[in-house]
A and B are shown apart, each in its own frame.
Chain A
Amino acid sequence: AQSVSQHNHHVILSEAASLELGCNYSYGGTVNLFWYVQYPGQHLQLLLKYFSGDPLVKGIKGFEAEFIKSKFSFNLRKPSVQWSDTAEYFCAVNCLSGNTGKLIFGQGTTLQVKP
């Protein structure tokens, strides 16, 4: 079965530190990839997505992610985090086969940024 694994459950950083959150998926076919963010008390919001083309995608708020097909990875990065980036981050995969159409989420990574 397809699955998504996020390596870091809880990350604590100081402001201005660089961020990289790992995401790996298990599926050999074509995928669409997403990163969502959930700020405290708010709903899931799309940070960025990859469908095809340039494997380095840029999203909102200075986030970017790189799709490495050979590693089945889609890691999220930000050069310099801010206190307002404190949130939970979810990687999600849509496996484009058959008629699934569903998003499979990782378990999430809680990011805490210290001011």
Chain B
Amino acid sequence: EAGVVQSPRYKIIEKKQPVAFWCNPISGHNTLYWYRQNLGQGPELLIRYENEEAVDDSQLPKDRFSAERLKGVDSTLKIQPAELGDSAVYLCASSLARNGYTFGSGTRLTVV
């Protein structure tokens, strides 16, 4: 079974530029999560989808961050414009019910 696939693995952009991350969850997993992991910290939830509906986006900085999950499968997380403080690893995870969470390899974003 293929795992959670994320791309790109690494991204370096200048501040004020836009950036997008893509996630393909495990087939059949209806719940998709985007987490942000700052250096030396544990991951923190940005947004959770149940199928195509965003059911928890309370931690998403909505002034610059947006996400979508078309057709309840793949998801895209966008930052526009990026700030220096957005440098982090962005993790995607998926689960079927709340029992098993599988994480992708993440996208390491560096904003310069």
Contact = CB atoms under 8 A, between A and B. Distances in A.
A103 interface: yes
Contacts of A34: 101
A68 to B, nearest CB: 21
A4 B55 CA distance: 22
A17 interface: no
Nearest to A95: B98
B110 interface: no
Contacts of A46: 100-102
Contacts of A108: 40-42
A15 B39 CA distance: 27
Interface in B27-70: 31, 33, 40-45, 48, 50, 55-56
Interface of A: 4, 32, 34, 36, 42-46, 49, 51, 90, 92, 94, 96, 99-108
